[in-house]
Amino acid sequence: MGWRLKIGQAAGIDVFVHWTFLFAPLYVIYKSWQGSWAVMGIMMVLLVCFFACVLLHEFGHALAAKFFGIQTRDIIITPIGGLARLQGISQQHPLQELVISLAGPAVNLLLAFAFVAYLLLTSRDFVPDQIDAFPQILLWANMALCVFNLVPAFPMDGGRILRSLLALFLPYTAATSFAANLGRIFAILFVAFGIYVREFPFVLIGSFVFFAATAEMQFMRDLTITNVTKPD
């Protein structure tokens, strides 16, 4: 994964920030350049809070995996999200992958409910009316994380959920191929949308999804060829 900085450990899992994460604050600076220093500072705090929610999302995956006896090598935070690197998910147990994949979005949904409860108890509106309305912004940010990750674009959570459901009825390689091809279609749509609205993050996410889905398909093909040609 290249150069990375360890920022801590929780539940026995090391957490790293990848060097490319530097692009996230640089993007915030670019978007808030015409505003005041106060606005830029608030946006930086929001960025930290947002990625704290991303980190909790990844721990959702990791702790669900731990329930099945699957270890998490580490968690890496990048500018386009997080990555919990799990070790030992079996192709023979698609229901495990289903539960583990659902755990991340479920964490964001629980966080959204927590912010809803807070706003109800404090008699506040759900719609943010200013940039420092942190509870409202984080409520919708977590809802967006939940919904976005459920898009069936492999290797995002939704794509892995789709693969695990297909693997209940199809060979694992066929399920992976279908989910990955669908992921590549969504990736192209992400890139096209990003170019249309001139938002670089969508182009970056789409590019990552496309190449990751392609790499997963190639890995499964290589694995199949190895198993077929391996002597008894």
Domain contains 214: yes
pLDDT class of 11 with cuts at 50, 70, 90: confident
Domain span at residue 214 reads 152-225
Tokens 């892995």: give the residue. 160
Number of structural domains found in the chain: 1
Domain contains 193: yes
Q: Is 10 helix (H, G, I), strand (E, B) or coil?
A: strand
Strand partners, 78: 81
Name the least confident of 115-119, 143-147, 151-155: 151-155
Domain contains 164: yes
Average pLDDT estimate for 201-220: 82
Domain contains 159: yes
pLDDT class of 232 with cuts at 50, 70, 90: very low
**What global pTM score does this model have?**
0.87
Dihedral, CA of residue 23, residue 147, residue 111 and residue 210, to nearest 10:
-30
pLDDT value of position 1: 53
Domain contains 204: yes
